[in-house]
């Protein structure tokens, strides 16, 4: 299962493959940006790799960190009654 975050990583990897440096040089020249694609493309390529392969942090609640037992449920019911 791929999340939107993973898809972003894949898109960055394909768009900024090092072989695409001449394409990005032409694109930057056509929009009058004075930026060298040789410096930019590897950074975005590595960013795509990091986004794709480093797992996202999972938000864990207290219930996820341990198993809830019958005793826990009984204790909660007794607390509500008091």
Hey, how many other C-beta atoms are within 10 angstroms of the C-beta on 24?
Answer: 19
- Residue 57: what pLDDT? 82
Q: How confident is the model over 22-53, as pLDDT tens digits?
A: 999 999 999 999 999 999 999 999 999 999 99
Helix, strand, coil abundance in the chain, percent, nearest 5: 70, 0, 30
**Average pLDDT, integer, range 73-82:** 67
- Residue 29: what pLDDT? 95
Helix (H) or strand (E) holding 54: none
Q: Which two tokens stand for residue 19?
A: 């072989």
Q: How confident is the model over 57-76, as pLDDT tens digits?
A: 875 555 555 666 677 667 76
Residue ranges per domain, the chain?
4-81
At 56, is the pLDDT very low, low, confident or very high (cuts 50, 70, 90)? confident
């Amino acid at each position: 299962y791929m999340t939107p975050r993973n898809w972003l990583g894949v898109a960055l990897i394909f768009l900024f493959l090092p072989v695409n440096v001449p394409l990005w040089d032409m694109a930057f020249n056509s929009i009058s940006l004075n930026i060298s694609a040789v410096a930019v493309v590897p950074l975005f390529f590595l960013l795509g790799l990091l986004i794709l392969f480093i797992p996202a942090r999972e938000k864990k609640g207290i219930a996820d960190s341990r198993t809830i037992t019958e005793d826990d449920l009984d204790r909660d019911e007794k607390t509500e009654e008091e």
